[in-house]
Structure 1
């Protein structure tokens, strides 16, 4: 694993830990001012900009405080040495005990696109999704 991949892996793991802890400042760290995020709940057109991204987290933290989990189970990073763009994808255990009792294999899918500016990696694009398993 090269140094860029190690830095990105650490960034995603810090972000996930901040989400798990309900630490808004930690969640916002390492994101670009022009972040674009596509999330599970609406708005369907996603959110654009760090201020809109910030506003999406308090409702999630409130839901999570009711006993939901948020942990990374697998994480893959693709970054070429010397490149200024990279991506990572992960599977996360994200749900309540009741949801996992009904769907034990349920996982949140995460994809992030990153830019390296001034020697520092930042998330410029973030996408969360669950598979649609409705009949």
Structure 2
């Protein structure tokens, strides 16, 4: 389960004897407990924004007038709240300030959403629906294959149309290996994919490819932002077709 640590400093506390935070970051990072985090600028650089009756009200300074302030944050992945509390207690700022430990909202399953995205892309390719295929990518997607780079969904869409023009019928995939790593906003997958199709002249195609896919959470859904395809067999017209896999593990 993921937890957010809100690192709260105290501008009246003497932090001169505080231990450095780097060993804490390195230890939890090596154990894959700390996923990421960062320091924040001091409260005097904060801007508080409110909207009242349609008017944007801006105030310089933090939301609350208090000697304590949020100095940074860390995202942890722990087995439970006790492990998260133990990690927070070891943070150097806990000795001079405070750490708020709060679980993430637990009704989201990023891995399932990414699998659903891949299933949609696979279904769209099988039906030769370029509109649905292109909708699975971010507007600024970058795709690398066969020494070429397609930047932007428009260029990628054109590549898809050209690739499908060489083929007849559906394109099928078999995932031989697949690995997925994800965070709150980005995810990466590496896969070994076998792609089968039939050319318009009746020739059968059977390609084996290494595929690296980068995903980005764009709010209500995940989309593909990066794709790198490296054929392990001679290049064929299917190299112009998206190779995102049907399944992840």
- Asked whether the two chains share a fold, i.e. TM above 0.5, the reply is yes
Quote the Cα distance in structure 2 between the aligned partners of 1:127 and 1:94: 18
Q: Unaligned regions of 5+ residues in structure 2, if any?
A: 1-107, 235-249
Which residue, 210, 223, 229 being the options, matches 1:122? 223
Residue by residue over 1:6-48, the C-alpha shift from the partner in whole angstroms, topping out at 9 and shown as x without a partner, is 11111112112212221101111121110000124xxx24110
Matched residue count: 121
Residues 9 and 77, structure 1, Cα contact 8 Å, conserved in 2: no
Could you tell me how far 1:50 is from its partner in structure 2? 1.0
Q: Which has the higher strand share?
A: 2
Q: 1:47 to 1:59 in 2, by over 3 A?
A: same
Q: Which structure has the larger Rg over C-alpha atoms?
A: 2
Q: Partners in 1 of 2:116 and 2:194 — Cα distance?
A: 15
Change (3 A) 1:127 1:32: same
Aligned-residue Cα RMSD (Å) equals 2.4
1:43-74 alpha-carbon deviations (Å, 9 max, x no partner): x2411011111110112112221x57332424
Which structure has more relative contact order (CA 8 Å, sep 6+)? It is 1
| Residues 20 and 13 of structure 1, relative CA distance in 2, 3 Å threshold | same
CA pair 126-59 structure 1, distance change in 2 beyond 3 A: same
What does residue 71 of structure 1 align with? 173
Instruction: Provide the C-alpha distance between the structure 2 equivalents of 1:116 and 1:99, rounded to a whole number of angstroms.
Output: 34
1:10 matched to 2:116? The reply is: yes
2:166 is paired with a residue whose SS is helix
User: What is the aligned counterpart of 2:150 among 43, 47, 54?
Assistant: 47
Give unmatched runs, 5+ long, in structure 1: 101-105
The structure with the largest helix share of the pair is 1
TM, length-normalised to structure 1? 0.75
TM-score (norm. length: structure 2): 0.43
2: CA distance between counterparts of 1:126 and 1:89?
A: 10
CA–CA distance in structure 2, aligned partners of residues 14 and 68 of structure 1: 14
Match of 1:57 in 2: 160
1:80-99 equivalent positions in 2, closer than 5 A = 80=183, 83-90=184-191, 91-96=193-198, 98-99=204-205
Q: Which runs of 4+ in 1 moved over 6 A?
A: none
